[in-house]
Amino acid sequence: MIYSRNRRLRVNESMRGLVRECSLSVNDFVMPIFVMEGENKQEAIASMPGIFRRSIDLTVKECKELFSLGVKAVNLYMKVSDHLKDNTGKEAWNKDGLMQNTIKAIKDAVPEMVIMPDVALDPYSIYGHDGIIENGKIMNDATNEALAKMAVSHAEVGADIVAPSDMMDGRVLAIREALEESGFHDVGILSYAAKYASSFYGPFRSALDSAPKDNMEIPKDKKTYQMDFHNSREALNEVFKDVEEGADIIMIKPGLPYLDIVAKVREAIDLPIAVYNVSGEYAMLKAAAQNGWLDNDKAIIESLTCFKRAGADMIFTYAAKEAAMILNK
């Protein structure tokens, strides 16, 4: 005789919903957005179906639509013109720069949208690296000074949370001190604390032309500052340091191949955890769906729910708009 039957709680959708351990909602999503120079311009990103680079005016229009769907946060990336790139990243804190004008335009049009600009030098670097280079090496402390200027310039035009994705040591503290000294006590820091040197970033780097350049005099990849994907204990080391330095939210990136890291960090800290469903993950799902190998809508919702099950509080995903439409049905 069987007295304990787990299937009793799976008999129909109402019962399954009643005992469900985690749920997915539009409140969980942050939409990454690519911005380009110009007016009324939109360019498709071939490796990321449904994702575009847009000029500021069309970006504002997209943000209005996202907010109407319930997606209340955006993560901003700039496609910077080559003539503005150098080895200092100074365009990153230009008061009239593309990022700064984008933040102002979105905040004016959708005041309640949470704006999280990316803080990293690679879109502004002639070398495609996240740091200033001297004698063939990424200079950690000099880069931190540049990142702090960048973060303050974002706060000055209305950013709610700055999101350093560079992985320099000590940059959260440098940014926190700069924000405090400038009077931006309420601007948060979402730190990419455990960001791995991953092969899943390819489509993103194509979208921004931000991959390391093929130059024998500089590092050929980002492995001296992004984490080794073989490691997990190291992630906790990175997370604890960023928490001590003043981070408000902790990011794990990439997402799906690193759910073990999300779960491990969730057990270790009480701060909100973000996870990045990166471009390569998105591109793989889309390619499979377009070939009829997966059900697009079901695969999107299942994969995003996995992040919540692992312990994430918010999900950066290129599928945010599409997932919101599915959930709103």
Residue 216 to residue 220: CA distance in whole angstroms: 8
Q: How would you classify the pairing of strands 52-54 and 42-44?
A: antiparallel
Q: Does residue 253 have an active-site annotation? A: yes
Residue 185 to residue 191: CA distance in whole angstroms: 16
Question: Which residues, 6+ apart, have CB-to-CB distance to 119 below 8 Å?
Answer: 147, 150, 151, 154, 162, 163, 164, 165, 166, 175
Residue 5, φ and ψ in degrees, nearest 5: -125, 110
Contact 26, 310 (CB under 8 A): no
Q: Does residue 149 have an active-site annotation? A: no
Query: Looking at 85, 107, 222, 253, which residue is catalytic?
Result: 253
Q: How far is CA 136 from the centre of its chain?
A: 28
Contact 157, 104 (CB under 8 A): yes
Cβ count near 311 (within 10 Å): 19
Active site residues: 195, 253
